[in-house]
Amino acid sequence: MTKLLEINHIQTLCFAKGFSPARLNVATSPFLISRRGGGGYCSNACIPYRLKFTCYATLSAVVKEQASDFSGKEAALLVDELRSNFNSGRTKSYEWRISQLQNIARMIDEKEKCITEALYQDLSKPDLEAFLAEISNTKSSCMLAIKELKNWMAPETVKTSVTTFPSSAQIVSEPLGVVLVISAWNFPFLLSVEPVIGAIAAGNAVVLKPSEIAPAASSLLAKLFSEYLDNTTIRVIEGGVPETTALLDQKWDKIFFTGGARVARIIMAAAARNLTPVVLELGGKCPALVDSDVNLQVAARRIIAGKWACNSGQACIGVDYVITTKDFASKLIDALKTELETFFGQNALESKDLSRIVNSFHFKRLESMLKENGVANKIVHGGRITEDKLKISPTILLDVPEASSMMQEEIFGPLLPIITVQKIEDGFQVIRSKPKPLAAYLFTNNKELEKQFVQDVTVKDLPFGGVGESGLGAYHGKFSYETFSHKKGVLYRSFSGDADLRYPPYTPKKKMVLKALLSSNIFAAILAFFGFSKDS
């Protein structure tokens, strides 16, 4: 007797086997899953992917990973097709660029409900958080590009050398060609679409590879890009490691990756084979330094907003750990506890405003951090978990061992260690002892401490981007456009006024005139031209 398996059983099985829910192959007829819940299932027709499976009365299942139908050969054909269309000049015009950007803006407006639904299915993101953190930010970036595109595309006039007089020169932005965007799962809409906006604004052909760890968003992006954008120059390739490997084996004009340092090294190695430039948006252990002279309530609320109310800590610029003084730590912890209850109630695990952990693998990773020797007894708040819901309550720990994985690795979850120091200035040494973070936060009213923080802590700058372990390159706003552009110098010279000073034979007189001109000494140049020196 055949029996349908409940959605949550499928999800558990997928995670246990290490498969993405969108990549299952089964033996019965396909059906569209229609339950609002976790891990890549849709509750309406917004997200049209189907799962097949065979289940028996014992609720055992025969599941095998679907063989990838996107091979290296198909990846090569895809890139060749897009390069041919790019070389036709199709993407270079203002009209093409602005039309695609306008289509993205229209897509966001018309499909906001579907986008919100996908983000809930992948991460249980609250509607307002999904709107503020992903939908609104993406729309703002798109509208800025639409508004400023003509200015960004306009050539920049620059001065020329006296050796090329008479002449004029410009710096012209030109598209790089065919670019690959590999996005992350924690903000699967924002981190996919915003780099694509920059690539399109710059006039490139684009392939987007969304993260398979957020299958609902991945499937939705593939559907929406196919529906709203020019498929001859903009494509979405779904899948996991095999598909990504096939794509990385191709020659690209730029690779833009958002994710972790381990995969970034693989991408750098693949890019090096073709000397392909890369942008790596990574993460790191982002610290928050809290002085004792702050408004405690405001500081606590902002730390919570940057940690637990931001995708449950699954954010590259989320607060990873806090540094404060030993004397002030208890006051800060009490303030955090009070505001956490205000934000999420007495039982945060039941709060609809707290996102879940993305999958079982990352849940187990965070759970193992909590269970390490010398860590569990450092919990001063929270520490509760519900594996079936993939939720961990907001957890505060005090002075965990420096050698623990919690202090050596990026946490990327709802665990917040607080490190105490004797003097707040000692916190700079703690920060410098770790790889450069993508962001760092200071809470103080002390101007001298603020100045020292800006000088001593190396992090990102506007534009948004990292250094070292936190990444390479930058984007957002005009910087997204520039990231996907090549600055080309163009020199214009007429056929008239062609002086023979720079041509052989090189006489002492020519040398004197040119040296004077290049040092901006017009008087000496005139004297030299007529055979005099300024000393004569």
Q: How confident is the model at residue 516 (pLDDT cuts 50, 70, 90)?
A: confident
Annotated catalytic residue within 117, 134, 281, 410: 281
In this structure, the dihedral spanned by the alpha carbons of residues 289, 190, 463 and 145, taken in order and rounded to 10 degrees, is -150
316 in catalytic set: yes
**For range 355-371, the mean pLDDT:** 96
Q: How confident is the model at residue 159 (pLDDT cuts 50, 70, 90)?
A: confident
What is the three-class DSSP state of 365? helix
Who wins on pLDDT, 296 or 156? 296
Q: How confident is the model at residue 283 (pLDDT cuts 50, 70, 90)?
A: confident
Tens-digit pLDDT profile for residues 191-201: 999 999 999 99
Question: DSSP letters of 193-238?
Answer: HHHHHHHHHTT-EEEEE--TTSHHHHHHHHHHHHHHS-TTTEEE--
Residue 328 per-residue DSSP state: T
Can you give the residue ranges of every domain in the chain? 1-67, 74-282+476-486, 287-465, 501-536
CATH number for domain 287-465, candidates 3.40.50.720, 3.40.309.10, 3.30.980.20, 3.40.50.300: 3.40.309.10
Contact (Cβ atoms closer than 8 angstroms) between residue 189 and residue 211:
no
Amino acid at 433: S
Residue 56 per-residue DSSP state: B
Side-chain-side CA neighbours of residue 287 (13 Å): 26
* Residue 224 pLDDT greater than 50, yes or no: yes
* Residue 388 pLDDT greater than 50, yes or no: yes
**For range 73-101, the mean pLDDT:** 98
Please list the alpha-helical segments (H only) found in 22-135. Answer: 72-87, 94-110, 112-123, 127-130
278: left (phi over 0), alpha (psi -120 to 50) or beta: beta
Q: How confident is the model at residue 533 (pLDDT cuts 50, 70, 90)?
A: low
Do domains 74-282+476-486 and 287-465 share one topology? The answer is no
**For range 59-84, the mean pLDDT:** 71
Annotated catalytic residue within 286, 310, 316, 482: 316
* Residue 399 pLDDT greater than 80, yes or no: yes
Tens-digit pLDDT profile for residues 105-155: 999 999 999 999 999 999 999 999 999 999 999 999 999 999 999 999 999
Residue 49 per-residue DSSP state: -
Please give the CATH number for the structural domain made up of 74-282+476-486: 3.40.605.10
Distance CA 353, CA 361 (A): 22
Lowest mean pLDDT among 199-203, 210-214, 462-466: 462-466
* Residue 38 pLDDT greater than 80, yes or no: no
Residue of 515, 513, 517, 514 whose CA lies nearest to 528: 513
Token digits of residue 214? 């957020």
Residue 459 per-residue DSSP state: -
281 in catalytic set: yes
pTM score, whole prediction: 0.79
List CB contacts of 383: < 8 A, sequence separation 6 or more: 370, 376, 393, 395
The pLDDT, as a whole number, for residue 349 is 95
Sign of torsion, CA 266 271 281 143? negative
Rounded mean pLDDT of the chain?
A: 84
**For range 423-450, the mean pLDDT:** 93
Burial (CB count within 10 angstroms: exposed 0-12, middle 13-18, buried 19+), residue 176? buried
The pLDDT, as a whole number, for residue 61 is 29
The pLDDT, as a whole number, for residue 474 is 57
Token digits of residue 505? 């034979």
Side-chain-side CA neighbours of residue 196 (13 Å): 29
The pLDDT, as a whole number, for residue 7 is 31
The pLDDT, as a whole number, for residue 464 is 44
Distance CA 482, CA 173 (A): 8
Who wins on pLDDT, 267 or 52? 267
Tens-digit pLDDT profile for residues 329-342: 999 999 999 999 99
